[in-house]
Amino acid sequence: MKHVIMGIPFTNATKKEFIEDYLTPRLETAEQTTVVTANPEIVMKTRENNAYKQVVQAADYVCPDGIGIIYAAKMMKQPLKERIPGIEVVDALLHLAEEKGYSCYFLGAEQSVNERAVAQIKKTFPKLKVAGNHHGFFDIDDRSLAERVAATDPDIVFVAVGAPKQELWIAKYKHLFHKGLFMGVGGSFDVYAGAAKRAPEIWMKLNLEWLYRIVIQPSRVFRIFTSLRFMFLIAIGQGKKD
């Protein structure tokens, strides 16, 4: 069942259900799948950019990544089971890929970050098949790069170039692939590379991961205004509007 917030249909599942009941069967049958992990900022971006909105609406799954989405769903009296953080889905998929022999492509982040992230992932998941990797500072119209990624025939493609570029890239080029689970993963490679850190557990338990990210990267402070605007719009009943 999908819970719609500002026209964006969110998947209502626990993280475990999402991995085991939604993604695992689709990987087993090699069914092409697109996953968006959306926080309030992404929902707000879809309000400003209709092409982006259509891409997010057309995704197979939109996960609630961000406590603001969970609060909004509660305020709209259609609660979502739990937050599904993108990076935790990446982790679970890497486990699954190593176990089942699925190959993964890592597209995104700066060259050095990308290389360090892939090296770290290979260390943690030594049997993982890496289809390939490439940095994320490419032009979205660079079709030859997409063709090169498709030629590696990956089972899973992680695209870490930030929103909306990552989702737009996936929508534009997924037809070049025969199969593949495609997922935009934002700053996840920075975390694997050690260039960014997730919040300590206590911050996460208190649902303050967003605040931690601002504390360690103050340039993100402006993003909070977008999230506040989102919460304000929900509070005045705009959540049910497209």
Both tokens assigned to 171: 């929508």
User: Of 102 and 106, which CB lies nearer to ligand UDP in the complex structure?
Assistant: 106
Nearer to ligand UDP by Cβ, of 20 and 110: the residue is: 110
Q: Does 109 help bind ligand UDP (rule: CB under 6 A)?
A: yes
- Give the residue among 56, 58, 125, 132 at the shortest CA–CA distance from 93: 125
Residue 75 vs 231, nearer CB to ligand UDP: 231
- CA 85-181-74 angle, to 5 degrees, is 30
In the chain, the amino acid numbered 177 is F
**Residue 163 binds to ligand UDP (criterion: CB under 6 A):** yes
Q: How far is the CB of 138 from ligand UDP (least distance, A)?
A: 7
User: Closest residue (Cβ) to ligand UDP?
Assistant: 136
Q: CA-to-CA distance for 16 and 44, rounded, in angstroms?
A: 27
* Interface with ligand UDP, residue 230, by CB under 6 A: no
Place of tokens 């931690």: 212
Is residue 108 close enough to count as binding ligand UDP by CB under 6 A? yes
> Does 161 engage in binding with ligand UDP (CB under 6 A)?
yes
**C-beta closer to ligand UDP: residue 7 or 162:** 162
First to last CA, the chain: 18
**Residue choice 130, 153, 162, 231 for contact with ligand UDP (CB under 6 A):** 162
Task: For residue 81, state whether it binds ligand UDP (rule: CB under 6 A).
Answer: no
* Nearer to ligand UDP (CB atom), residue 159 or residue 181: 159
Q: Which of 189, 192, 210, 230 binds ligand UDP (CB under 6 A)?
A: 189
Q: Residue 203 and residue 149: Cα distance in Å, rounded? A: 37
Check binding of 40 to ligand UDP (CB under 6 A): no
234 contacts ligand UDP (rule: CB under 6 A): no
**CA angle, residues 62, 65, 67, in degrees to nearest 5:** 130
What is the rounded distance in angstroms from the CA atom of residue 123 to the CA atom of residue 65?
27
Binding segment for ligand UDP (CB under 6 A), chosen from 47-55, 61-69, 105-113, 126-134, is 105-113
Could you say whether residue 19 binds ligand UDP (CB under 6 A)?
no
Residue 7 binds to ligand UDP (criterion: CB under 6 A): no
Q: Which stretch binds ligand UDP (CB under 6 A): 58-66, 147-155, 161-169, 201-209?
A: 161-169
160 binds ligand UDP (CB under 6 A): yes
Helix (H) or strand (E) holding 204: helix 201-205
**Distant-in-sequence, close-in-space partners of 227: CB < 8 Å, separation ≥ 6:** 39, 40, 41, 44, 66, 68, 210
Two structure tokens written together for 38:
């959306």
Exposed/middle/buried for 231, CB within 10 Å: 0-12, 13-18, 19+?
middle
